[in-house]
Structures are given as C-alpha cells and as structure tokens.
Chains A and B, each alone.
Chain A
Amino acid sequence: MRRAIFLPWFCLLMFLAAAAPVRATTELNMSATLIWGTDEEKPNDPKIKPVSPEVAKRLKGIFKWKYYFIVKTESAGLAEKAVKKFVLSDKCTVEVRNDVKTYQAKLFGETKLLKTIDQPVKVGEDTVLAGDDKNSTAWFVILTPVAGK
C-alpha cells in the first residue's frame, strides 16, 4: 500500500531530476576581437581581413562606416574569478575577469586604462567598446561570451 502511494511520487521526482538542466559550469568562454571600421574598401594592410557578412551587417546597423576588418581575434576559457588578458594589438589590451554571472572588462590603450565595464553574461549578446581612430576611421573591441562545451 505504501509502495503504491510512494511509487508515483518517486517516478515524478526521477523525471524532474532527469529533465533538470545540468548544473551550469562557472567557466566563462570569452572571445575578444579587435575590428577596424573605415570607408576605404581596400585597406593598405594585407594582413587584415573583412569581417563576416553577419558581423558587418550588425555593425552597420549601428555605425556609419562602410567596411569592417578583423585586426585580431582571441578566445579563452576563464575559471571563476580568473582574469585573462587579451592582447589585440601593440596598443590595445583588454582584461576580462569572470565573475560567474557577470564579467568585468578593462580596456587599455597604450597601457593606460580607458574604460572599465561590468556586463551580465548572456550568450548571443555582445559588448562593443568603440571609439574614433585617425583619418575618420574607428576601432571596435567586441567581447562575445561563447556557449560552453
């Protein structure tokens, strides 16, 4: 009799346990990309390549420049509270700290701290730090939290 009462509840509990998501990892996978925006179709530097059409479309949806080129991209996994320094050029570094549900990013220009931001971790959403560069161009540092493996 007791087993008859207990069994459905047990089955329900097992079902809920199986359906429940796996406990989220505290590791943050982050991608940092330095992009250069310009109205020149062909830049002088042959090493830099155009961004993907999808990224170009998103940037053009906000900014006025016609062409966007990847200067450098780096990815890394950060354990909880770990800090990773992404060196994106000889003048541009961004340090990212994993605060689990949020991350803190510090942007350095020529070793000087330009900006500190704290952002929630949302896969599928980017943070863009941007500013004017010489000759009416612009720079963009895109931070992308990536879904963990």
Chain B
Amino acid sequence: MKTEAILRLQAYLDNEVSSADARQIASWIARDAEAKALYEELKATKDLLNAENELAVTLPESHDFYWSKIQRAIDKAEQEPVQRHSPRPWWIRLLAPVAGAAVLGVFVLTSVSFNGITGHYKEVSETDNSITFYSPEQKMTVVWIPSGNEEIVASADESDD
C-alpha cells in the first residue's frame, strides 16, 4: 500500500477527511482485505488510548511544599519588572521598593490571618530566598533553604567523597 493511501485511511479513522473522501475510503476498506486489517489494527489501538486508560499519576510532593515554590516564583517575577522599568519620577522609584515590600507584607499578613486553605502561613525571605511554611497535618514548620545559598550541609554517603 502506498504511504499516501495509508495516511488517508488513518485520517478517515480520525475524522479528518471530507464526507466525500470518507465515502471513498469506506468503500475501499470494504473491498480490500489488507486495508481492512490495517484499519482494524489502527482502530483497536486508538480505542485503547483514551483518557480512561491513561495511568493516573499524582504529584510526588505535598501541596504545601509545591504551592510554596509556585508562590515564591510568582512573588519574584512580580517584583522584578518594578525594578527594571524605565524612567519615572525619582519619587516613584523611591516608593516602588517600599510599595513592593508593603505588598509582600500585606500578602504575608493576609496569609497568616486568612489562613488560606490549609491553615498555614508562608514567608519568602528576601535575603536568602528560603521558604518557610507550616504543615498543620504534620505539625511541622519547614524552612527550605535553596541550594546555591551555600555548600551542602552534610552528606551521609561518605563514599561519594
């Protein structure tokens, strides 16, 4: 079978052909055993590959941890454009960082008082980019110190050295 014919057969399976072409291809399948066999194989595979048969995977991290990293990235991205903007009155430039800090402060306070969804607070350090959050389920306050701040603290696997 020629490549073009085979791909038309597949396009027919995927409803990507016109009605006129669809009638032609259906007729071809009906009279050609090889075309029919190939069509049935493609159809069987297509029928298997649907959302119901897709393996469900879940995020391998807790929501708190996952969300804290997203939030940190959002905060960082939102602060950067304020500093890079082109000429504005000097007093605006003076206010911007202050305003930015105020917004961050309001955000942190809001999170603490509002309690968000899971009852935890979040804080992103402006000095060392560490992230602090509380997990009420595990009764733990976590301070995540991103790598790059300093050398690793310890390696239990001494054979790596």
Asked if A and B touch directly (CB within 8 angstroms), the answer is yes
Per-position binary interface string of chain A over residues 41-82, scored 1 when its CB falls under 8 Å from any chain B CB and 0 otherwise: 001110010000000001101111000010100000000000
**Within A70-117, which residues are at the interface with B (CB < 8 Å)?**
71, 88-92, 107, 109-110, 112, 114-115, 117
Is there a chain A Cβ closer than 8 Å to B44's Cβ? Answer: no
CB atoms of A91 and B143 under 8 A apart: no
A4 to B159, CA, bound (A): 81
**Within B143-161, which residues are at the interface with A (CB < 8 Å)?**
143-147, 149-160
CB atoms of A62 and B152 under 8 A apart: no
Is there a chain B Cβ closer than 8 Å to A129's Cβ? Answer: yes
CB atoms of B153 and A139 under 8 A apart: yes
* Most A CB within 10 A of own CB, among B61, B65, B153: B153
CB atoms of A45 and B159 under 8 A apart: yes
Instruction: In the complex, identify which listed stretch (A9-17, A19-27, A118-126) lies at the interface while the others stay far away.
Output: A118-126
Q: Distance in Å from the Cβ of A61 to the closest Cβ of chain B?
A: 5
For B146, the chain A residues whose CB sits under 8 A away are: 131-132
For B156, the chain A residues whose CB sits under 8 A away are: 36, 43, 45, 48, 69, 71, 89
For B153, the chain A residues whose CB sits under 8 A away are: 34, 89, 91-92, 107, 109-110, 114, 131, 133, 139, 141
Is there a chain A Cβ closer than 8 Å to B62's Cβ? Answer: yes
Instruction: In the complex, identify which listed stretch (B2-10, B32-40, B108-116, B131-139) lies at the interface while the others stay far away.
Output: B131-139
How many chain B residues touch A (Cβ–Cβ < 8 Å)? 32
Q: Distance in Å from the Cβ of A37 to the closest Cβ of chain B?
A: 10
CB atoms of A115 and B143 under 8 A apart: yes
Given A58-B140, A62-B135, A129-B143, are A71 and B154 also a contact pair (CB < 8 Å)? yes
For B143, the chain A residues whose CB sits under 8 A away are: 115, 117, 127-130
For A88, the chain B residues whose CB sits under 8 A away are: 154
A98 to B132, CA, bound (A): 21
For B160, the chain A residues whose CB sits under 8 A away are: 44, 134-135
- The 8 A-B residue pairs whose C-beta atoms are closest, nearest first, are A89-B154, A36-B156, A132-B147, A131-B145, A64-B60, A92-B153, A92-B154, A109-B153
Tell me the A residues contacting B by CB distance below 8 Å. Answer: 34, 36, 43-45, 48, 58-59, 61-64, 69, 71, 88-92, 107, 109-110, 112, 114-115, 117, 119, 124-135, 137, 139, 141
* Cβ contacts A to B, 8 pairs, < 8 Å: A34-B153, A34-B154, A43-B157, A110-B153, A112-B151, A114-B128, A128-B141, A128-B142
